[in-house]
Amino acid sequence: MYQSRIEEFKQENTARRVFLSVFVVASLGVILPAKANGGEFSRLSESDPMAKALGYTHISDSKEKTCVNCGLYQGETGDEWGRCSIFPNKMVNANGWCKSWIASKG
Ligand code: SF4
């Protein structure tokens, strides 16, 4: 009697472990690619309160003053979106602009 109950318990535990392992692996499959693609940083919306306050727009009116040639832009050349030190945890459009634009030293 006890032996069969112990066997049942072991089988339930094994099934539970398999279920949890599959769940953890499946969850990592969803989370890791998002981080690898910069998922931690969402694209800045023009309707974001701080973006509005700084007049941020995804497309600059001036070709000479865009995010990609701003001293505060942290994106890589050629990227459509990049980080900006004014908007933490957000990405701005390389062709964008805001009132905080400053000339890049490089
Ligand atoms: S400070 Fe403004 S212009 Fe400069 S990169 Fe950031 S959003 Fe673009």
Kindly report, residue by residue over 79-99, the tens digit of the pLDDT.
Answer: 999 999 999 999 999 999 999
C-alpha 65/C-alpha 71 separation (Å) is 10
Asked whether residue 87 falls in the same domain as residue 75, the answer is: yes
CA 96 to chain centre: 19
Same domain, 46 and 88: yes
Q: For residues 97 and 67, what is the distance between their CA atoms, to the nearest angstrom?
A: 5
pLDDT at 9: 64
Q: Is 70 in the pocket of ligand 1 (CB under 6 A)?
A: yes
Instruction: Indicate which atom in ligand 1 lies nearest the CA of residue 66.
Output: 3
User: Residue 56 falls within a domain, yes or no?
Assistant: yes
**Quick one: 19 and 47 in the same domain?**
no
Global confidence as pTM: 0.65
Q: Whose CA is nearest to atom 8 of ligand 1?
A: 67
Q: Which domain holds residue 4?
A: 1-40
Residue-wise pLDDT tens digits, 36-73? 444 579 999 999 999 999 999 999 999 999 999 999 99
- Count of the separate structural domains present in the chain: 2
pLDDT for the residue 10: 66
For residue 77, the model assigns a pLDDT of 85
Q: Please state the φ and ψ torsions of residue 31, each to the nearest 5 degrees.
A: -75, -50
Residue 8 lies in a domain: yes
Residues 23 and 12 grouped into a single domain: yes
